[in-house]
Amino acid sequence: MKMGFDPKKYLEEQSKYILERVHNYDKLYLEFGGKLLFDLHAKRVLPGFDENAKIKLLHKLKEKVEIIICVYAGDIERNKIRGDFGITYDMDVLRLIDDLAAYELDVNSVVITRYEGQPATTVFMNKLERRGIKVYTHKATKGYPTDVDTIVSDEGYGQNPFIETTKPIVVVTAPGPGSGKLATCLSQLYHEYRRGKVAGYSKFETFPVWNVPLKHPLNIAYEAATVDLKDVNMIDSFHFDAYNEITVNYNRDIEMFPVLKRIIEKITGQESVYKSPTDMGVNRVGFGIIDDEVVKDASRQEIIRRYFKTACEYKKGYIDYETSQRMKLIMEELNLKEQDRKVVMPAREYSARLKQKSAKNDACPAMAIELEDGTIITGRTSDVMNATAAVLLNAVKHMANMADEIHLISPVILEPIIDLKANKLGNRSSVLDCEEILIALSICAATNPMAKAAIEKLPMLKGCRAHSTTILSLSDEQIYRKLDIDVTSDAEYPSENLYYNL
């Protein structure tokens, strides 16, 4: 993979900039936008970016940092899913706490924002507290966003409990957007000043990249990633007026800046040091770009990936028609087409050939994967395994220089698994999925040298792109994610079944 980004340079720039900012205050509340860990979007659009760069940065500063995690009660109540992991926000909070501990970072507490006694949220709070995690609850801020006098008063931020912290940098993070990070930072700022402390606020937001052109594919890829939030990149007019310098920000930050500036000035009792939303940021990611063309190409591919993802989410009923149309407009803006993703047409053409031979009306699921050397490998659903499993076997056989007709998994292993699935467990379909096939392959590898050679090739699929002609199951999606294969799907179900496609 061609590198377009220097992670080492980025870490040096970013840590230096944060430390410069914290020197001005007794305590700095640093709102972390985007993903603190496993920032897969950044990894895809900035080839060379370390998906865990942010947490490694904090690990370097661990003596100065503690962390507050925010989660919106409404997201817990409706079981909102973190799309790149397929887990709910409450489970992602637990995962985040464990991962932070592995990096020796102190989690101060979890803040449940806009809490109104929701039952599922209360159960989650109990779970945290009984495992020794401090939990605070914040109600919706009275008067927000326009009545600054009420917001900055005992009726507003004053209603929230003060979170005691001990380190100079307090990182406020969350599983996703709309979790109440900003309100938590400002609430803490209010209480700090009431206690005579000089505290500050800054925002660590990776995208959009402020020092990259507005219509750069990297910034447009951010719009694609937040298409459901209706985020739109804009020139930061406040920054241009103050410094005569063109920078990029997004609509929500620009629209909220006058109110945010007034709130900070009301809390501190002095003129804000920030003259623009860009001023508030500590984002140095643009300085890590070393090959702009590589980044542009990766960003275009990410937009196409997001297009397929949005189409599938619309088919599943997760998003509205307007959002799906907005995603199409983003594709058209850069004159991108579905077939610009190299694996799309081979998968579709293979499926079309299968349909010509089939007497059934159901789809004929097929899949294609592009290997590192550019070779395209295909696979199809059979009576034994689904297309996602078949293409993996075909790919590792190719990389191990094995003939296509070689069977890596013995019928002695397959038949009991199929029997267990269909007859003992009562599954409607006996077709094996990715996980089941990989487990069977690993069992065979204990006695079959060819199976062992094939399974050792699996790590070589890391970073490869794949496409399916039908929507993948959650289980198969997760296996591909663990293998670090970038997979997309056409917005079609494998059959006319309703429940058994889920």
Longest Cα–Cα distance in the chain: 78
CA 367 and chain centroid, separation? 24
d(CA 75, CA 181) in angstroms, rounded, equals 14
3-state secondary structure 193-207: HHCCCCEEEEEECCC
Domain spans, the chain: 7-213+278-286, 343-501
Superfamily of domain 7-213+278-286 in the CATH hierarchy? dip2346 domain like (3.10.630.10)
- Parallel/antiparallel/unpaired status of strands 199-204 and 135-137: unpaired
Least confident span in 115-129, 348-362, 485-499: 348-362
What's the chain's length in residues? 502
pLDDT in tens, 396-436: 999 999 998 888 999 899 999 999 988 888 888 889 999 99
pLDDT in tens, 260-316: 999 999 999 999 999 999 999 999 999 999 999 999 999 999 999 999 999 999 999
Q: pLDDT grade, residue 142 (50/70/90)?
A: very high
On the 0-12 / 13-18 / 19+ scale of CB atoms within 10 A, 386 is buried
In the predicted structure, residue 500 carries a pLDDT above the cut 70: no
pLDDT in tens, 171-228: 999 998 889 999 999 999 999 999 999 999 999 989 999 999 999 999 999 999 999 8
Q: Which residue has the tokens 């599922």?
A: 120
Task: Please provide the CATH number assigned to the domain covering 343-501.
Answer: 3.40.140.40
Helix (H, G, I), strand (E, B) or coil at 370: strand
- Given this model, what pLDDT does residue 198 score? 93
Structure tokens at 93: 């909070």
Q: Which residue has the tokens 């220097």?
A: 6
Same fold, 7-213+278-286 and 343-501: no
Structure tokens at 44: 């895809």
**Model confidence, pTM:** 0.91
Structure tokens at 225: 């990633």
3-state secondary structure 254-292: HHHHHHHHHHHHHHHCCCCCCCCHHHHECCCHHHHECCH
Q: Find out whether 382 and 360 touch, Cβ atoms under 8 Å.
A: no
